[in-house]
């Protein structure tokens, strides 16, 4: 079965090793529970967020695109504010207990979300979005910090990260489709509220299957000065060049992904004259593509930075082609109209391909981050990564909103993103050739 007898920290059962394939990992109860918790969290986040985006875009009028662009920043701002404290909590307490607590927090937020949807209070919904960002900021260091405790060896870690990313984007797919389809239907507010509460409840139940792994650094003092601790955390991360390289690469991935996801609804509405169901289709195709890309990299079983370079080039090429297609496609008012035209299939194929390459971009960098973090500080290094991710994504959201305010249309912004991403792919190539040649191919 490819299972090792040694137990890390307080783990009550053997963990899969480098010999464990994807099937073995998925059959192991400890990993399966974490996989389900993360996937259900992705379902709920995107069920809620896509319902909110559709409401903002199609019910708020001319402010819709600005609210959509800013929504990503509202969700990610807590990562910048609280990731340092979240990393301390994950390293100083039993990670499985932290998982349970953050899932209960999610359930409470969904109660408030129900009030927002049923009353049509957009302000309350944006408060929930910020709260989900806080919840995600505390869950992320636990999720990435506990994986090396559950999985032994680089190959198992690569496969585990790939499966978690794939499960995340399957959850994004399901949540995106459900959020867009349900919120504009009959009794949409009630149906979305019930669905969010049900998924959150299942997530709480799944969290109790995550095994205890012990405390990474017993006695660690959690300091509430989050600004000072954030600075210390970033300074520590910069002290390890390979770790910092991974952090910067992942941060660009987050900024690019948040920017792309903010552009798709505006492309659908302003360039294609499409309804909300076309937006849902775009999100679904994108999420499916990222899941496919993550699974493909998971099968490699090792860190290969050449994959990151190739993935970056692929993302830029297909993003640019998608933007050109949007400018030439003409009106596609609904899903049947889009699927009835070659131009519509071309745009969806571009979207799927850029998402596949995007899914392949991040997995090697996350494994590099985990491998170059000391076990006692791993969650805090994930927290440092999250701070940088949030800063990059919030800045990107602000830039997107500014470009819209300056009069640029979505295709032009997509072309700018494609050009910037090519520069990042070149940077990864230069770094890998100069310092990490063994990891390039």
Between strands 15-16 and 3-4, the pairing is: antiparallel
The distance from CA 358 to its chain's CA centroid, rounded to whole angstroms, is 11
Distances (CA, A) of 296 to 88, 313, 385: 33, 17, 24
- Over its length of 441 residues, how does the chain's per-residue pLDDT go in tens digits? 333 333 444 444 445 444 545 555 555 667 788 889 989 998 998 899 888 877 776 665 566 666 666 776 688 788 778 887 888 888 888 888 999 999 999 999 999 999 888 887 778 888 899 999 899 888 888 887 888 777 766 667 777 777 887 788 788 778 877 887 787 777 878 898 999 999 999 999 999 988 887 777 777 776 666 667 777 777 877 777 878 888 888 889 888 887 887 788 788 888 888 887 788 788 788 878 888 888 787 776 565 677 788 888 999 999 999 998 888 877 787 888 888 888 889 999 999 999 999 888 887 888 778 777 777 777 778 878 888 887 887 788 778 878 877 778 888 889 999 999 999 888 888 877 766 555 554
Nearest partner of 351 among 397, 414, 422, 396, judged by Cα: 414
pLDDT digits (tens, 9 = 90+) for 17-67: 445 455 555 556 677 888 899 899 989 988 998 888 777 766 655 666 666
| pLDDT value at residue 58 | 64
* φ/ψ of residue 157, rounded to 5: -70, -40
Cβ burial 203-234 (10 Å sphere, 16+ → b, else e): bbebbeebbebebbbeebeeeeebeebbeebb
**Range 28-210+226-439 classified under CATH 1.20.58.100:** no
With b for 16 or more beta-carbon neighbours within 10 A and e for fewer, the 102-120 pattern comes to: bbebbbebbeebbebbeee
* pTM above threshold 0.75: no
Query: Please, are residues 71 and 57 in contact by the beta-carbon 8 Å criterion?
Result: no
Distances in Å between the Cα of 353 and the Cα atoms of 164, 281, 316, 358 are 20, 15, 10, 8
Report CA-CA distances (Å) from 209 to 95, 197, 205, 319, 323. Answer: 12, 20, 8, 40, 44
Provide the 8-state DSSP code for 61. G
User: Are the C-beta atoms of residues 10 and 214 closer than 8 Å to each other?
Assistant: yes
Q: What integer pLDDT is reported at residue 29 of this predicted model?
A: 66
Do 158 and 300 touch, CB atoms closer than 8 A? yes
| Virtual torsion, Cα 217, 220, 223, 228, nearest 10 deg | -60
Helix ranges (H only) for 60-152 are 64-92, 95-119, 122-150
Domain boundaries, the chain: 28-210+226-439
Tokens of 251: 């941060």
Q: How far is CA 211 from CA 95, 120, 214, 310, in A?
A: 9, 40, 9, 37
CA distances 317 to 166, 311, 390, 414, Å, are 23, 10, 26, 11
First to last CA, the chain: 29
407 CB-contact burial (10 Å; exposed 0-12 / middle 13-18 / buried 19+)? exposed
| Rg of the Cα atoms in the chain | 21
């Amino acid at each position: 079965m490819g299972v090792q007898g040694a137990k890390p920290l307080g783990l009550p059962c053997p963990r899969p090793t480098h010999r464990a394939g994807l099937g073995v990992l998925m059959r192991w109860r400890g990993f399966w529970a974490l996989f389900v918790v993360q996937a259900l969290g992705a379902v709920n986040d995107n069920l809620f967020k896509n319902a909110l985006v559709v409401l903002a875009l199609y019910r708020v009028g001319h402010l819709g695109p600005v609210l959509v662009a800013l929504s990503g920043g509202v969700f990610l701002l807590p990562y910048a504010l609280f990731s340092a404290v979240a990393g301390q909590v994950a390293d100083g307490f039993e990670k499985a207990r932290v998982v349970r607590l953050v899932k209960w927090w999610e359930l409470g937020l969904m109660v408030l979300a129900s009030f927002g949807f049923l009353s049509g209070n957009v302000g309350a919904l944006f408060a929930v979005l910020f709260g989900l960002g806080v919840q995600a900021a505390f869950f992320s260091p636990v999720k990435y910090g506990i994986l090396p405790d559950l999985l032994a060896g680089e190959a198992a870690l690569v496969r585990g990260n790939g499966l978690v990313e794939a499960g995340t984007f399957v959850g994004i797919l399901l949540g995106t489709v459900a959020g867009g389809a349900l919120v504009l239907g009959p009794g949409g507010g009630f149906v979305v509220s019930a669905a969010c509460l049900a998924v959150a409840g299942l997530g709480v139940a799944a969290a109790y299957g995550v095994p205890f792994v012990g405390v990474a650094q017993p006695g660690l003092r959690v300091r509430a000065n989050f600004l000072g601790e954030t600075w210390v955390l970033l300074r520590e991360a910069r002290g390890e060049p390979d770790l910092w390289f991974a952090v910067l690469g992942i941060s660009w991935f987050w900024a690019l992904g948040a920017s792309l996801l903010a552009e798709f609804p505006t492309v659908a509405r302003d360039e294609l004259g499409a309804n909300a169901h076309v937006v849902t289709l775009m999100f679904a195709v994108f999420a499916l593509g990222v899941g496919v890309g993550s699974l493909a990299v998971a099968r490699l079983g090792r860190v290969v930075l050449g994959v990151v370079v190739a993935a970056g080039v692929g993302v830029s090429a297909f993003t640019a082609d998608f933007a050109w297609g949007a400018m030439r496609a003409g009106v596609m008012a609904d899903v049947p109209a889009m699927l009835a035209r070659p131009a519509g299939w071309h745009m969806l194929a571009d979207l799927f391909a850029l998402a596949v390459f995007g899914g392949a971009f991040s997995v090697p960098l996350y494994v590099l981050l985990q491998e170059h973090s000391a076990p006692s500080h791993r969650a805090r290094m994930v927290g440092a990564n999250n701070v940088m991710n949030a800063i990059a994504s919030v800045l990107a959201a602000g830039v997107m909103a500014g470009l819209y305010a300056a009069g640029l249309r979505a295709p032009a912004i997509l072309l700018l993103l494609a050009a910037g991403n090519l520069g990042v792919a070149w940077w990864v190539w230069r770094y890998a050739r100069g310092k990490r040649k063994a990891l390039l191919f």
